[in-house]
Structure formats: structure tokens, C-alpha cells
Chains A and B, each alone.
Chain A
Amino acid sequence: MINAILVFNNHGKPRLVRFYQHLAEEVQQQIIRETFHLVLKRDDHICNFLECGSLFGGSDYKLIYRHYATLYFVFCVDSSESELGILDLIQVFVETLDKCFENVCELDLIFHMDKVHHILQEVVIGGMVLETNMNEIVAQVEAQSKLEKAEGLAVTGPSRRQGGLSAAPSRAVSAVKNINLPEIPRNINIGDINIKVPNLSQFM
């Protein structure tokens, strides 16, 4: 079982928080902070597994994470999950995000948290892996966006929020201009991460 899925950036700002057991908000924030401190001090070339002690309540839990550009994707899992399998799942999730957002970057996650959740819900539900085939996931996400769009056009007209995924990048750019971010967010580079563990094509 997966106990929690956390995405935060290099400064520990949460971008996606999904706990599969109920915890009070303060506890959640505490866990995010501690997890961030645990992963932060590990450089990129050491292993992606981390024993987290009793951070999540049980001794059985383990943190499995990947670091992409400005973002950390952390999965907290128990012993029934395969470590390498979860690593691949993170990869699948990120690649799916990349497909759905067309060159995903941190700003997409910032401004479209709801969409990221909806994509995640096609991958994992209730702490259990639902689908690992990226094409299937993308197909379901797109079918639902289509449904949403159809509703939006038919009844209320295009609203800003329902702009769809394709509108995301341009808005993200304008956001950068508006805010004058000190660091220009890079794309999550899926191409250059070196996946030694089972090739995705082999795995699926």
C-alpha cells in the first residue's frame, strides 16, 4: 500500500499532497517538512530509498523518491510494494504529467493542482496502484477533460478555470512575467534522467 504521495519543490513548498490515511493538517505539514529535510540532504547520486522511522506512524514504511529539476516526488510505501516498481511508477506519473501538460514544469503543478490530482487519481487510488500503462492513463484523463469541456461550452461558456490543459503553458509564462521569479523554472527533463532500473518498456 502507498501511504502518502508528496510533491514539493527544492525549497520544501508543497505542490501536491495526498495522504491515504487521515491526518490533521498540522501533522501533514509537519510530515512534509520533515520529509523535505530528509531528502534535501541527500545528493542526486545516492539511492532513492530512505527509511523514515516512525515519521508516518508505522515502522514498516519507507520513502521512495525521485528528484526532477526543481521538484521532489516522494512516495511513502509499506513493505508490500516493490521498491523498484514504485520508482518506475513515479516515472510513469511524471511522464504522464509531461504528456498531459505538454512539457510540464513546476508552474503547471502550482497553478493546476486540481488537474494534477485528477491525473494522480487515474494512477493510484486509495493507496493502491490502479493503472501503470501510460497510454491508458492519458486516455482516461483526456476523456474526462473532454467531458468537462463539453459541459463548460454547453452551459456556462468557457471560463478561465476550465481553459484546458493546452492553455497552461502560456499562462505559466505570463505568471513568470508577473511575479518576476528569481529562478526561471526549467522543464522537468525526462529525457536525461538515467533510469537504470527496469526499462519502462520492459516493465509494462
Chain B
Amino acid sequence: MALKMVKGSIDRMFDKNLQDLVRGIRNHKEDEAKYISQCIDEIKQELKQDNIAVKANAVCKLTYLQMLGYDISWAAFNIIEVMSASKFTFKRIGYLAASQCFHEGTDVIMLTTNQIRKDLSSPNQYDTGVALTGLSCFVTPDLARDLANDIMTLMSHTKPYIRKKAVLIMYKVFLKYPESLRPAFPRLKEKLEDPDPGVQSAAVNVICELARRNPKNYLSLAPLFFKLMTSSTNNWVLIKIIKLFGALTPLEPRLGKKLIEPLTNLIHSTSAMSLLYECVNTVIAVLISLSSGMPNHSASIQLCVQKLRILIEDSDQNLKYLGLLAMSKILKTHPKSVQSHKDLILQCLDDKDESIRLRALDLLYGMVSKKNLMEIVKKLMIHVDKAEGTTYRDELLTKIIDICSQSNYQYITNFEWYISILVELTRLEGTRHGHLIAAQMLDVAIRVKAIRKFAVSQMAMLLDNAHLIASNTQRNGICEVLYAAAWICGEFSEHLEEANQTLEAMLRPKVTTLPGHIQAVYVQNMVKLYASILQQKEQSGEKEAAQEITQLMIERLPQFVQSADLEVQERASCILQLIKYIQKLQIKEVPVAEEVIALFAGELNPVAPKAQKKVPVPEGLDLDAWINEPPSDSESEDEKPKTIFHDEEQRHSRHRQPEIDEEELARRREARKQEQANNPFYIKSSPSPQKRYQDTPGVEHIPVVQIDLSVPLKVPGMPMSDQYVKLEEERRHKQKLEKDKKKKKQKKEKRGKHHRHNSLHTESEEDIAPAHHVDIITEEMPENALPSDEDDKDPNDPYKALDIDLDKPLADSEKLPVQRHRNVENLKSPDSEAPLVEKKSKKPKKKEKKHKEKEREKGKKKEKKVVEEEDEKKKSSKHKKKKHKKEKEEKSKDKKKSKKKSHHSEEETTESVQNGTLDDEPLPPMSSYRLLAENPYIKMTYDIQGNLQNDSQVTVSVIFENKSTSFLKSMELNVLDSLNTKMLRPEGSSVHDGIPVPFQLPPGISNEAQFVFTLQSIVMAQKLKGTLSFIVKNDEGSTHEKLDFKLHFSCASYLITTPCYSDAFAKLLESGDLHMSSIKVDGISISFQHLLAKICFHHHFSVVERVDSCASMYSRSIQGHHVCLLVKKGENSVSIDGKCNDSTLLSNLLDEMKETLSKC
């Protein structure tokens, strides 16, 4: 043996330990992977050895490899082995490895339940601590269910080190096993007032996490938290509580009003920035939740903004960042107070820290107004130029677009300016957001009619300079704007001044290098342009020019016909044929322009993105009903729609219609117009659906500002937005002057078409009239569109399961599962030894059994019938199981008859398993809460539970129910201590002081409070007199009331349900140092099952074994007395034999039981 040990330690010396492994890896930088795989092989060898130290060492190394990204789940079983080592050193290694790699999918995890339970109840607090820590990482629903009760017990452990860990882990248990929340909640609440600050902090932490997800269930705790907030000095706790209040206030505005004052005090007094910041945040939340009728509102807002300004001005970047973050919250409800700090925020845009710049950008979004939009955007444009790194620049770009387009271009007074901004943005290199700019261009050009002429001129310029945009392959993103440019020039070609030039630009060979979907738009819009030029030339009689342009098209189009892109190719070849046909007609000198132009007649209306969804379903139409017989499965699989073509959602793709010959087209167009006219869902925006290029553009639509186009065109045709800022200023100034003049004249005079025709339309509060008639066409929506009713809740939210009402008193069905003896495992292993032990252990009982044998056989048959009848009633889900059971029973019956008596014990165990689980039969609802006292105002019920961690304490849970219509407050509970039993009062208070109940009761509400009592002797039942004093407050005023009660500590309340294995039970009985006593009760009519359940429930016993109408039961007192019972049921009576270390306790217990049973 000694040799073996020496050998083991020598072996170990040659093993690599963690440090060797790390060193080795560092020495093998070139072939790290190879070296590690070699090490893993060694580890596998080490894991095969019996020496636990070697194993632990191997597992420790695995943990390191896991960090490097190696999967170590294959060693899960070995990890469990190391976890169950007796030495703390190894155990800790095992749990660490488990916490790093175990998860819900680890199948061996179910093997750990008992080991963890053992560690949790270890006398060494660090074993418990390590188990708790590990569990926090890999708890599964099964583990949570099985261990919930154990962890809950640890919440009252004597060591605060364990208590605080247990409290935190309860949160993980709640998440995995939501049923545990209600039973555990009273104790968790109790921990809020734990004497140890660490435990208190943990409890606050857990409740805050819970409340954050389902705040409404925790409103009743608000008074308690309020108290903590005003009394606690721990900043961690304060921060958590203040954050929690932030979540609660939206639900209860009254709470908010109360909070303002203490929070403001804290803001003024605290020196901790973190606390200050959270206070400000919560005050903001409160102010948001309060309706705006409070007079001292603005003072609080001012205080917040002022404090935030200090944060933002601080040199510490972290404070600056948080200040901006909080500022953006205020912005939503009180934009005015933030806007006054525009200077500061614009300053932050220059910060070297990108996070801060992004925050500042967010703020700017909410700060723009008609007045400052141009200025802010100008500043942003400067930053765009300066910005390094594409991410930030892209962010700037999207922000500019967001800011300008927000709420339907509300703040834009000059769309020419906006178009030039967009055009300037196209000069950005390497941006990914070309499509965004393109979408904006399209949107503005389509919806703001007055801007079309200007837009078209700018777009023509873009097309002309397409080589700049598309030259660099890296600028791919930006070439998207050509898509918009081409489309706008084509669609609104009547506004083009140099249509020929634009057409030529579009036909350049370079165009073929553009992405396919853009070329397709080019091809389509060329024809629109061509049609418009053709018409122009025909009208002015320039036939040759018209033919030249046709010739140009015929020459250049083939380059598109060769395109590899299907869409481009198809369109180009159609159009080529069309133009060849036109050429033929032109040669015959037939006028064709009218017909060609008719191809593109019709007005486009923007359609809201959600319009399709909002079309109401006509009555009587069931969309889910099959029109035909449903196709077979195999067919439906093939029918999955595939998108072959480039995705061009949101883009107005009118040009998608197939090219057919003109007549057909015209015919269809007519039909469509007819259809549109009759369609109630189609909103006709302009009285004439005909395209306007038949009329000359209205004078009203000419933009107000005279633009010197030569200025923006200087730099290769690109406009400058800056001039607009100046122009705008001038314009505003002029407007103001005019207004003043007008005022002087006291005359309403219709001014020139340029400036005044729209003054009525948008007289903003800032007195800025937009430069254009902003005729923004709203997006189309079907009539009777339904308001959106999106469900924003995620059904898979794991926190949803924790949405549980915590104020309801506990029902018995909710009690946490307590560890129970399971004979199943004994049974399954047909070890030859096992039955022997069993047999031995049963000897003392056997004699009794023999006596009763005959009687039992009778009773058994009867009972079996009942069971069978009940079986029939059971749900189908249980059928299989039950059938199986019946068969088994039948078998055992047969066996019984044929076999010798000596085998009985074994069979009996089989039986006892079958009947032993009490929840097989439905039990009547039972409540352990007994009435304490009652008057017209209040009803008190109570329950007493022993405290396993402390042998001289019990906890009395009292439910207070307000029966009146008044408000009950200042409740105080006091009892007259006896020598033996004393109420635990906070330090420093005298024995005559009452304990305040930590809540108030609104009418009809009930809540539970717990009181701890210390005891010396527990062998006798105790009665304590007490009084509850409270104040009843209603409309008439408040009165002081009292309610006397008697608190009855039965002996059963000192017992703790403790499971016991049958062999241990037998040994206990054999030991002989137990006193014995028995009772008999007559006139029992309820079933044995119910009887046992009652004893289990009311007297805190657990069934050790049950055979027919005979059962052995066990329980333990908080001071460690063992109590064993043998319960036998006769025809109409029950006899109970009891054994216990203490005879007084036993006789008292039996008396209590007699009383319970006689009520049956």
C-alpha cells in the first residue's frame, strides 16, 4: 500500500502540471496546435488513472485549454469525478471546470444532483460555497427543481458568506424553475433586512433583477425599498434600489412624486458620481412618468440638466459619455431644456472619442428645429469631411439623412438646399450608404413636386459626372445614387434643359461597368428621355435632329444588349427593336412622338411601405381557407418562391412591365386607368392623371430663390450647399423686413408669387416660412386601414415565466419539492447483497406484519379495487404507466401466492414503491395556515416553520388580510414573551417593544410578514399571547385599533420534514434508546392515502415506507430529536405507534396527531 502511494507520487512528479503546460505552450509557438493535441493525449491517459490527484491535475489543465478554445466536454464525466473528491482542493478544481463547460445540453449533469446536494449541506462552508458558485453557472431546470429547497434553506444559513451566495443563486433557480419563486419569495424578502450588508445587497440585487423584468409584481415592495433607500449607506445597494425605482415609477406615478424629494437630496449631497448619475437618471424617469401638471417640475429638470452639464464638461471621458447618454433621455420629453445646451453638444462633436461623438450625434437628432437645421447640418458636413475611418463617416451620413428626413421632412424649409446636401454627400469615398442617399433623392423628387426641376438639373449633372462616382471600384456603394439620378432624369425629363447631353451621358460605354440593376434603370430611362426629345424635335419641326437622336440610340444600345445581366439584356433588346421600328416610321415621315410618349404616361404616387399589409380583408373572405383541395406535401415543398432577381424593394419599379407593342400597351394603360378610377383604395392625388409634360410647368412651381447655377457648377458640376445657408439667412432677413413693413402698413397685401403665396401654409412658431411650396405628398395608404397592432412581446422571453403574482398567499401545491426517499434505485440494482440488508433491517417489523397478514390480505383486495376504479378515471396520458403498474401488481400478487414467506420483504418493497408516492391520488387541498385572529378589519392566519440552520429558532409567517374598505397602516405586532419562547427583536429594543409589520395594507389586500422566535425547550407546545395594533385610515379619519391573539406553537411546528432511508430507519428503531408510546383513534373514514398526506402535511413527517394500510414515517425536530411512527389502519380506526428520543415530546406530538385525526 505504502509502495503504491510512493509510486503514485513519483508518477505525479513526471506529470505536467498547469504551469508546465503553460510553459510548454509558450515554448512551442510554431507548432502550438500539435503540442496541445499531444498534451490532450497525455491528459486522457492521466484521466484513466485511479489517483484523484492526477485526475484533478488533468482537469485543471483542461480548464486552461478550454480558455484557449478547446472543447473539453468529452471529459465531463471525469470532471464530475473530481467534483466529488472529498478534498476541497480537488473539489474546487472540479467545480471550476464544470462551471466553464457544463450547460443544459450536458447529459451527465443529471448525475451531479446528489453530489451537489451533499456539498451544499457540507459542514465546511467552503465546500458549500464552491458548490453554489459552480451551480450558478450550470444550473438546469432539473437541478433547479431538485435543489431549490436545499438552496432556499441555505438562505438562512448561519454564515453570511453562504447566505449571500445562496440568495444570488436563487435568482438563477427562479429563471430555470419559475415555480420556486412564490414559495421562496417571503424568505428572499426577509433577506432584504438581513443584518449582514453583503446578504442585504445580494437580496436587493436579486429582487432588482426580478423586478426589472416584471415590475408590476413588485410594486408592493416599494415602501420597503423606500425605507432602505433612506436608511442605507451602501452605494452599491443604493444604486440598485434607485435603478429599481426607475423601473417602478412608470407603473405608479404616486411613487414618483414621493421619490423626487429624497432623490434631489441625494443629488445634492452625494460625492459619488455613480450614485449622482443614477439619481439623475431616475429623476428623469420619474419626470417622464408624471403627467405635466406639477408646478416644481421645471426645477427638477433644471437641476438634472445642470448636473448633466457638469458631467459633460468634466475632463473625464466616462462622465462626459454618461452625461450625454442621460441628456438624450431628457430630450424626449423636455427638448427645450436640452436645446439651450446646443453649444456644449456641438462641441462634443469635436471630441477625439468616437463614442462621445456618436452620443452627441444622437442628441443632435432630437435638437434640430427649422431654425437651426441648416446650421447643424453644416457643422456635420464639416465633420464628414474631416472624419477619419469610414464607420464614423457612415454614421455621420446616416445621421444627416435621419435628421433631415425626420417626421416627414418637418424641419426642412428649403429643399434645394437638401438636394444639394445629398449631392455633396455623393462625394464621400467608400461609403456603404449610397442606397440611402439614392432613396432620399427619389423620395424628395417624387414627393416634393416643386423641387423636381432643380432635382432634375442636379441629377443630370451627376449623370454627366458619373465617371467620378463610378471610377473607383472601391466607391461601389456610392454608385447607387446613379440609379436614382437616372430614374429622376428619365421620369421627369420634361424639366431637363439639355436632354440631349444627358442622353449622351447615359449612353457612354463606361456605363456598362455599373452594376446590372443600375444599368437596367439606365436603359429604361433612356427611352423616356428619348421620347421626350423626340417630341420636342417633332414639335419644332427638326426632323433631322430627331432622326439623329434615333440613330444615336441604335448605335449605342447594342452595348447593353450584350450585357451579362439578364434584366439589362432583355430590356435593351426590346427597346432596340422598338427604336428600329420608330426609325422605319421616321423614314416614312410619320410623326411618332405622341405614340412613343404615350408609353410612359401616367402619374406615380408614392405608396406607404405598410400599405399592402393594411388593406382590410373584405367581409366574408377567409384567407386561410383552401380554394382548391390542398396539394400533397411533396408538391408544396417545391413551390417555395425563389427570388431570382436583384432585390429592389422600396424602389419604384414601374419600369418592370414587360415590353409589348404600343397598341397593346395603350390598351392596357387605358384599362388600368379605368381600374384605378374605380378602385376605392387608389388615392388620386392630382386631378389630372395625365402626365404634366403636355402642359407647360406652372409658374407657381418655379422655386423662389434665384440660384446662380454657375457657382455650384464650378467644381466639376457639383453644387455647394453652403451658399444656401447664406441665402437662407438673407431670405429670412428679408422676410422679417417685409413683415415689419407689412405691419407698418397695416395692410394685407398679396405679395409677389415668389415669396408670399405660401406664407399662410407654414407659419411656424419660429416665423420661418419655407422657401418652397412644400407640397409633400403623403404616402398612400388604403382606406379604412387598420391601426397597427404589432405585438412587441417576444413569446420566447425567458423572463416572462417569472411574471408571477407574489402577493397571493402560497397554495400548498406550490411548496417546493422536498427531497424524498426513492426506493426505485435500490430496486433496480439486483445486487445480491441489497435484499439481504433489507431483510435484516425489516426484522423488527416483520413480526407485526405476520400477525396482521390475513387481515391485510383482505384489506388489500378491497383497496386494489378502489385503485383500479380510480385508474379508469385517470387521464389517458397516464394510461400506459398505470396499465404497466396494474400488470406489475397482478404479477406480484401471483408471485406472492406461489412464493415462500421469506421473500415477502422484497415484494413488499415493490409494492411500497408503487403506493408510496403520495401524489398518485388526488388529494384534497390543504393549507398549513391556521387562523390566528380576526376582527372586522383584519384577518391573520399563520404558519410556523422550523429553522434547520438554527436549533433554537422557528419562523412564524403571518398573512395579514385587510377585510375592510379602509387603509390599514402602522401595524405593529407584539407578544408577551415567555421564559421559554421569545420573539426575536432588533438589537437595542426592549422586550416590550412591538415589531412593525414592514408594509401597509390597502383595502382587500393581503401580505405576509415573518417573525422569528427563539426557543429553549421544544418538547412542549407553547402558547403566547400577543396583540396587533394598527391604524385604520378612511375618509372619516383614522382610528387606532387593536387585535389580541394567541400564538400556538404546536410540537409539530418544531419538526422539519426530513427524508429517511428505510435501512437508516430500521437501525434507528433497533438502537433502543428511543421511548415508545402509542395512540388509537376510532371512527376514521378517510382513505389511508389521505390520512398519510395529512400527517405529512400538518405534522411535517415523511413516509419512509408504506405497505398496504401500514406505513412507517419519520421526522426530526429542529433540535435533532428523531421521531419514528408506525401508522396502521384498521376497519374504522387508526393506531399510531411512535418512538422518540424524548418521551414528553412524543406524547405531545401524538396528542396533537390524535386531535388532527379525530377531526377526520
**Chain A residues in the interface with B (C-beta under 8 A):** 1, 14, 16-18, 20, 22, 24-26, 28-29, 42, 45-51, 80, 82-85, 87-88, 110-114, 117-118, 121, 125-133, 136, 140, 143-144, 147-148, 151-152, 155-157, 159-162, 171, 175, 178-179, 196-199, 202-204
Could you tell me if B273 and A84 are in contact, using CB atoms closer than 8 angstroms? yes
Could you tell me if B88 and A144 are in contact, using CB atoms closer than 8 angstroms? yes
Could you tell me if B17 and A160 are in contact, using CB atoms closer than 8 angstroms? yes
Q: Given A118-B96, A125-B168, list of 20 further CB < 8 A pairs?
A: A14-B68, A18-B100, A47-B356, A48-B317, A85-B235, A111-B18, A111-B19, A121-B133, A128-B168, A129-B201, A130-B168, A130-B202, A131-B198, A132-B201, A143-B126, A147-B88, A148-B88, A151-B87, A197-B274, A203-B274
Majority SS at the chain B contact face: helix
Q: Quick one: CB contact mask for B187-198 with A, threshold 8 Å, 1 for yes?
A: 000000000001
B314 within 8 A of A: yes
Could you tell me if A198 and B273 are in contact, using CB atoms closer than 8 angstroms? yes
11 A-B contact pairs sorted by A residue (CB < 8 Å):
A14-B68, A22-B104, A26-B69, A80-B208, A129-B205, A129-B236, A131-B198, A175-B23, A179-B26, A198-B274, A203-B274
Question: Inside 8 A of B205's CB, which chain A residues have their CB?
Answer: 128-129
Could you tell me if B202 and A25 are in contact, using CB atoms closer than 8 angstroms? no
Say how far B1018's CB is from chain A's closest CB, in angstroms.
34
Question: Inside 8 A of A129's CB, which chain B residues have their CB?
Answer: 201, 205, 236
Give chain B interface residues in 554-577, CB to chain A under 8 Å. Answer: none
Say how far A14's CB is from chain B's closest CB, in angstroms.
5
Contact stretch, chosen from B58-66, B254-262, B595-603, B745-753: B58-66
Question: Inside 8 A of B60's CB, which chain A residues have their CB?
Answer: 114, 161
Say how far A75's CB is from chain B's closest CB, in angstroms.
14
Closest 4 pairs (CB-CB, A-B): A126-B136, A84-B274, A22-B103, A46-B353
Say how far A126's CB is from chain B's closest CB, in angstroms.
3
Could you tell me if A159 and B12 are in contact, using CB atoms closer than 8 angstroms? yes
Complex CA gap A192/B271 in Å reads: 22
Could you tell me if B239 and A82 are in contact, using CB atoms closer than 8 angstroms? yes
Question: Inside 8 A of B314's CB, which chain A residues have their CB?
Answer: 196
Could you tell me if A161 and B17 are in contact, using CB atoms closer than 8 angstroms? yes
Contact stretch, chosen from B318-326, B474-482, B626-634: B318-326
B132 within 8 A of A: yes
Could you tell me if A156 and B132 are in contact, using CB atoms closer than 8 angstroms? no
Could you tell me if A20 and B96 are in contact, using CB atoms closer than 8 angstroms? no
Say how far A57's CB is from chain B's closest CB, in angstroms.
13
Could you tell me if B89 and A152 are in contact, using CB atoms closer than 8 angstroms? yes
Q: Quick one: CB contact mask for B272-316 with A, threshold 8 Å, 1 for yes?
A: 111101100000000000000000000000000000000000111
Question: Inside 8 A of B105's CB, which chain A residues have their CB?
Answer: 22
B171 within 8 A of A: yes
Question: Inside 8 A of B104's CB, which chain A residues have their CB?
Answer: 22
Complex CA gap A87/B317 in Å reads: 13
Majority SS at the chain A contact face: mixed
Question: Inside 8 A of B693's CB, which chain A residues have their CB?
Answer: none
B1044 within 8 A of A: no
Question: Inside 8 A of B198's CB, which chain A residues have their CB?
Answer: 130-131, 133, 136
Say how far A49's CB is from chain B's closest CB, in angstroms.
6
Total B residues in contact with A, Cβ cutoff 8 Å:
76
Could you tell me if B67 and A17 are in contact, using CB atoms closer than 8 angstroms? yes
Could you tell me if B317 and A47 are in contact, using CB atoms closer than 8 angstroms? yes
Say how far A121's CB is from chain B's closest CB, in angstroms.
5
Could you tell me if A117 and B235 are in contact, using CB atoms closer than 8 angstroms? no
Could you tell me if A130 and B272 are in contact, using CB atoms closer than 8 angstroms? no
Contact A198 to B69, CB < 8 A, known contacts A47-B321, A117-B96: no
B27 within 8 A of A: yes
Residue of B nearest to A45 (CB): B317
Question: Inside 8 A of B68's CB, which chain A residues have their CB?
Answer: 14
B243 within 8 A of A: yes
**Chain B residues in the interface with A (C-beta under 8 A):** 9, 12, 17-19, 22-23, 26-27, 53, 57, 60, 63-64, 66-71, 87-89, 92-93, 96, 100, 103-105, 124, 126, 132-133, 136-137, 161, 164-165, 168-169, 171-172, 198, 201-202, 205-206, 208-209, 212, 235-236, 239, 243, 271-275, 277-278, 314-322, 352-356
Residue of A nearest to B247 (CB): A80
Question: Inside 8 A of A160's CB, which chain B residues have their CB?
Answer: 17, 19
Question: Inside 8 A of B161's CB, which chain A residues have their CB?
Answer: 140
Complex CA gap A24/B71 in Å reads: 8
Contact A25 to B69, CB < 8 A, known contacts A47-B320, A140-B161: yes
Contact with A151, one of B17, B88, B171, B271 (Cβ below 8 angstroms): B88
Complex CA gap A49/B353 in Å reads: 11
Residue of A nearest to B57 (CB): A161
Contact A198 to B172, CB < 8 A, known contacts A111-B18, A113-B18: no
Complex CA gap A63/B133 in Å reads: 24
Residue of A nearest to B56 (CB): A161
Residue of A nearest to B277 (CB): A84
Question: Inside 8 A of A46's CB, which chain B residues have their CB?
Answer: 317, 352-356
Say how far B241's CB is from chain A's closest CB, in angstroms.
11
Complex CA gap A140/B126 in Å reads: 9
Could you tell me if A161 and B18 are in contact, using CB atoms closer than 8 angstroms? yes
Question: Inside 8 A of A121's CB, which chain B residues have their CB?
Answer: 96, 133
Complex CA gap A24/B355 in Å reads: 30
Question: Inside 8 A of B96's CB, which chain A residues have their CB?
Answer: 114, 117-118, 121
Contact with B93, one of A28, A84, A114 (Cβ below 8 angstroms): A114
Question: Inside 8 A of A179's CB, which chain B residues have their CB?
Answer: 23, 26-27
Complex CA gap A82/B282 in Å reads: 12
Could you tell me if B126 and A147 are in contact, using CB atoms closer than 8 angstroms? yes
Residue of A nearest to B175 (CB): A126
Residue of B nearest to A195 (CB): B316
Say how far A86's CB is from chain B's closest CB, in angstroms.
9
Say how far A30's CB is from chain B's closest CB, in angstroms.
9
Complex CA gap A155/B9 in Å reads: 11
Contact A126 to B137, CB < 8 A, known contacts A22-B103, A46-B352, A136-B198: yes
Could you tell me if A84 and B322 are in contact, using CB atoms closer than 8 angstroms? yes
Could you tell me if A156 and B53 are in contact, using CB atoms closer than 8 angstroms? yes
Question: Inside 8 A of B206's CB, which chain A residues have their CB?
Answer: 128
Question: Inside 8 A of A42's CB, which chain B residues have their CB?
Answer: 354
Question: Inside 8 A of B201's CB, which chain A residues have their CB?
Answer: 129, 132
Question: Inside 8 A of B239's CB, which chain A residues have their CB?
Answer: 82, 85
Say how far A4's CB is from chain B's closest CB, in angstroms.
12
Contact with A16, one of B67, B209, B353 (Cβ below 8 angstroms): B67
Contact with A202, one of B171, B209, B271, B319 (Cβ below 8 angstroms): B271
Say how far A196's CB is from chain B's closest CB, in angstroms.
4
Say how far B243's CB is from chain A's closest CB, in angstroms.
7
Could you tell me if B19 and A85 are in contact, using CB atoms closer than 8 angstroms? no
Say how far B295's CB is from chain A's closest CB, in angstroms.
31
Could you tell me if A80 and B243 are in contact, using CB atoms closer than 8 angstroms? yes
Question: Inside 8 A of A85's CB, which chain B residues have their CB?
Answer: 235-236, 239, 274
Question: Inside 8 A of B136's CB, which chain A residues have their CB?
Answer: 125-127
Residue of A nearest to B136 (CB): A126
Complex CA gap A45/B316 in Å reads: 9
Residue of A nearest to B139 (CB): A126
Complex CA gap A25/B66 in Å reads: 7
Listed residue (B63, B89, B273, B315) with the most chain A CB atoms within 10 angstroms of its CB? B89
Question: Inside 8 A of B27's CB, which chain A residues have their CB?
Answer: 178-179
Complex CA gap A161/B9 in Å reads: 13
Complex CA gap A200/B126 in Å reads: 28
Contact with A144, one of B126, B132, B164, B165 (Cβ below 8 angstroms): B126
Could you tell me if A111 and B67 are in contact, using CB atoms closer than 8 angstroms? no
Question: Inside 8 A of A156's CB, which chain B residues have their CB?
Answer: 9, 53
Complex CA gap A175/B319 in Å reads: 41
Could you tell me if B316 and A196 are in contact, using CB atoms closer than 8 angstroms? yes
Could you tell me if B318 and A47 are in contact, using CB atoms closer than 8 angstroms? yes
Say how far A164's CB is from chain B's closest CB, in angstroms.
12
Complex CA gap A82/B64 in Å reads: 31
Could you tell me if B168 and A80 are in contact, using CB atoms closer than 8 angstroms? no
Say how far A60's CB is from chain B's closest CB, in angstroms.
11
Could you tell me if A162 and B89 are in contact, using CB atoms closer than 8 angstroms? yes
Question: Inside 8 A of A157's CB, which chain B residues have their CB?
Answer: 9
